[in-house]
Chains A and B, each alone.
Chain A
Amino acid sequence: MSEIESLSPRKQIWLRLKANRAALASMFLIGLLMITVLVAPWLSPFNGEDIDYEAIASEPSITTGHLFGTDSLGRDLFVRTMEGSRISLAIGLVATLVSLLIGINYGAIAGYFGGRVDAVMMRIVDILYAMPFMFFVILLMVFFGRNIFLIFFAIGAINWLDIARIVRGQTLAIKQQDYVEAARIYGASHWKIIQRHIVPNLLGIVVVYITLTIPQVILVESFLSFLGLGIQEPMTSLGALVSEGANEMESYSWTLIFPAVFLSIILFCFNFIGDGLRDALDPKQVK
């Protein structure tokens, strides 16, 4: 009798994810977008800073070479959109990483040690949750200037709360598992247990949250840029571009449309991937 091996959980999850059309298309699209965003500017003769005096605020056309047109200062919109996408994605990824690092450690420690430690740590999270973060970020920007690293950090510092809560919940569940008790019995230290047994089994849920946090972060940065508090010129982000484009909306609509479309695509795709991952990881689906 032929026997097909049962697949590892990882493979099963992957297969389930592939079956989700929206998620699959999104992954493809994001991949494509990332490649485009990295490569395309090399292909264009223009860069995002040069002013093309012959084509100020011109419509998209192939003849001028400005595929997406130019903005009111004459800068090529295509390259600027690419650069903006790059920056937005970078902020999304880095800020998410920051919040992950803080959140996982915080949540795992609270969940693992439990008792008073957990109670105190989680009350701190509750209190921080209640604070108006946007307000503090804006204050930070105003006082310390619009440093890109500060933006990374500030945005990351908002999202770690969510991740900490999720991780703490998962840790509580994982802590009850027999294999954790087994590790305690054969002498593993608390840190080794967290490192080898808790965190690896958390990664599933964490991955879902990464994919859902990235769009959130990008949106926060976009909002800041819209307010004029985002990254400084000459760097640009999709949010900044959308902000500029909104000003020109009536006369030069393409300056709004292109960045907005890119922003929307990124947000949608990550959300679909996140949803797909969440479904794929749902243990109830396991047969």
Chain B
Amino acid sequence: MKITLLLDIENMSVRFNTEQGVVHACRDVSFQLHEGEVLGVVGESGSGKTQLMLSLLQLLPENANINGVALYSDKDLLKLNRPDINQVRSNEIAMIFQDPMSSLNPYLKVSTQLTETLVLNQQIDKQTALKKAIEILEKVRIPDAATRIHDYPYQFSGGMRQRIMIAMALLRKPKILIADEPTTALDVTVQAEILALLKSLRDEFSLSIIFITHDMSIVAGQCDRVAVMYAGQTVEQAILDKLFYEPKHPYTQGLLAAAKSQSGLTDNLVSIPGQPPRNVGVQIGCAFYPRCDKRLDVCEQVTPVMSGSDIQQQACHLYD
């Protein structure tokens, strides 16, 4: 049974030219997304995960310098011209963010914001568009959708606004949904509902999802495969169970240990010593070297490359 490859990212690097020097947000990142799959991209500050996703849709500012290839149905997203990338943004790949207010115009009613894109892109009339919009709001479980659609964003709670944002993303029936920390700003009970919603929508809309988060617990419940990023690079990629039960990279191991301890699954609270990196300047050797408890001499000098199989691969000299 062949699973279609939807998105193929190869050797992507994102650099910003700033006053402080060149900031390497992402270095040499490669991964794939298959049809129907949920890929988790895990990372903390400085990991570069958000910049990577933004660059796919050409949403980065002018001083960004992007190298590499991002293939989506035989097109390189990074090289598309304006009309083509707009087409991708509206119908193929949708993105939802941590802060729903950043996607919702506070001055427009929800109905306007939802129907606007439909009328423009799919050339349907306002009435039909409104009907479709109400339908989608019902799908994301907004109570009284037909009435509430005429409200303004500020009249909804945080969780509701996030649902509206999801609705807006799904309205155009995208193939891929990129969710950038969609529940981080929400209360834990609301988060649980949004995660459940995403799970059910995934099947209903045949979505392939890239789930960006720093929270390993969310990954455990949502994802099929996981890519762990640190200092702008992927350090480990594996299918879910392999990553959680047989993590190879010391950073993954540390992150899991910290997450498990904070979930009350162990007796002591555990952390990784040191702090996350700032990605300025040229890098020699492994970025995790300063914080790694399993480091070898070679780690300081030589940057490790990804090795392994489709099931699990890691960038670490311990496994060379």
Pair B19/A3 contact, Cβ less than 8 Å: no
Docked pose: A35 CA to B63 CA in angstroms: 39
Instruction: Type the 1/0 row for A96-111, where 1 means its CB is closer than 8 Å to any CB of B.
Output: 0000000000000000
Option from B18, B278, B285 in Cβ contact (under 8 Å) with A3: B278
B19 engages A4 (CB within 8 Å):
no
Contact B16 A3 (CB under 8 A): no
B19 touching A1, Cβ below 8 Å: no
Judge whether A146 is part of the interface by a CB distance below 8 angstroms: no
* Closest chain B residue to A11, Cβ basis: B19
Chain B residues whose C-beta falls within 8 Å of the C-beta of A15 in the assembled complex: 19
Q: Does chain B have a CB within 8 A of A197?
A: no
Docked complex Cα distance between A12 and B284 (Å) = 27
The answer to whether A2 and B282 have CB atoms under 8 Å apart is yes
Contact A7 B19 (CB under 8 A): yes
Chain A residues with a Cβ closer than 8 Å to the other chain, count: 12
Please give the distance in Å from B62's CB to the nearest CB on chain A.
Answer: 11
A123 at the interface (CB under 8 A from B): no
B284-300 to A contact mask, C-beta < 8 Å, 1/0: 11010000000000000
Chain B positions 60-88 with a Cβ under 8 Å from a chain A Cβ: 61, 63
* A6 lies within 8 A of B278 (CB): yes
A1 contacts B277, C-beta separation under 8 Å: yes
A11 neighbours in B (Cβ, 8 Å)? 19
State in angstroms the CA–CA spacing of A6 and B21 once bound together.
Answer: 9
A287 CB-CB contact with B under 8 Å = yes
A4 to B281, CA, bound (A): 7
Q: How far is the CA of A2 from the CA of B231 in the complex (A)?
A: 13
A7 to chain B: closest residue by CB: B20
B282/A1 in contact, CB under 8 A: yes
Cβ-based interface call for B11 (8 A): no
CB of A1 within 8 A of CB of B285, answer yes
B280 an interface residue at 8 Å Cβ cutoff? yes
B128 interface residue per 8 A CB criterion: no
Q: Is the CB of A2 within 8 A of B19?
A: no
Max count, chain A CB within 10 A of own CB: residue among B18, B19, B21, B280? B19
Is residue B283 within 8 Å, beta carbon to beta carbon, of the partner chain?
A: yes
How far is it, in angstroms, between the C-alpha of A252 and the C-alpha of B300 when the chains are bound?
A: 78
B283-A1 in contact (CB<8A)? yes
Contacts of B277 in A (CB 8 A): 1, 3
- A287 contacts across to B, CB distance below 8 A: 16, 18, 61, 63
CA distance A160 to B231 in the complex (A): 50
In the complex formed, the residue of B with least CB distance to A12 is B19
Q: How far is the CB of A179 from chain B (nearest CB, A)?
A: 21
Q: Which residue of B lies closest to A16 (CB)?
A: B19
Instruction: Enumerate A1-47 residues with CB–CB distance to B below 8 Å.
Output: 1-7, 11-12, 15-16
Contact among B61, B63, B281 for A1, CB-based, below 8 A: B281
B20 touches A1 (CB 8 A): no
* A11 to B61 CA separation, bound complex (whole angstroms): 22
Give the residues in chain B near A1, CB-CB below 8 Å: 231, 277, 281-285, 287
Closest residue of chain B to A1 (Cβ to Cβ) is B283
Choose among A2, A7, A12, A16 the residue that contacts B281 (Cβ–Cβ < 8 A): A2
Closest-by-CB residue of A relative to B280 is: A4
CB distance from A186 to the nearest CB of B (A): 26
A1 to B284, CA, bound (A): 5
Closest to B283 in A: A1
Q: How far is the CA of A6 from the CA of B231 in the complex (A)?
A: 16
CA gap between A180 and B19 in the complex, in Å: 30
Q: Cβ of B280: which chain A residues have Cβ within 8 Å of it?
A: 2-4, 6
- A195 CB → nearest B CB, Å: 31
Q: Which B residues touch A12, using CB under 8 A?
A: 19
Residues of B within 8 A of A5 (CB): 20
Bound-state CA distance A6–B61 (Å) is 20
Q: Which of A2, A11, A15 has the most CB of B within 10 A?
A: A2
B18 to A, closest residue via Cβ: A287
Give the distance in Å from the alpha carbon of A6 to the alpha carbon of B16 in the complex: 14
Residues in A with CB closer than 8 Å to B63 are 287
Chain B residue numbers with a CB within 8 Å of A3 are 277-278, 280-281
A-B residue pairs in contact (CB < 8 Å), sample of 13: A1-B231, A1-B281, A1-B285, A1-B287, A3-B278, A3-B280, A4-B21, A4-B281, A6-B278, A6-B280, A7-B19, A15-B19, A16-B19
Chain A residues packing against B (C-beta within 8 Å): 1-7, 11-12, 15-16, 287
B residues near A (Cβ < 8 Å) are 16, 18-21, 61, 63, 231, 277-278, 280-285, 287
- Ranked nearest first, the 3 interchain pairs of A and B with the lowest CB-CB distance are A2-B281, A1-B283, A4-B280
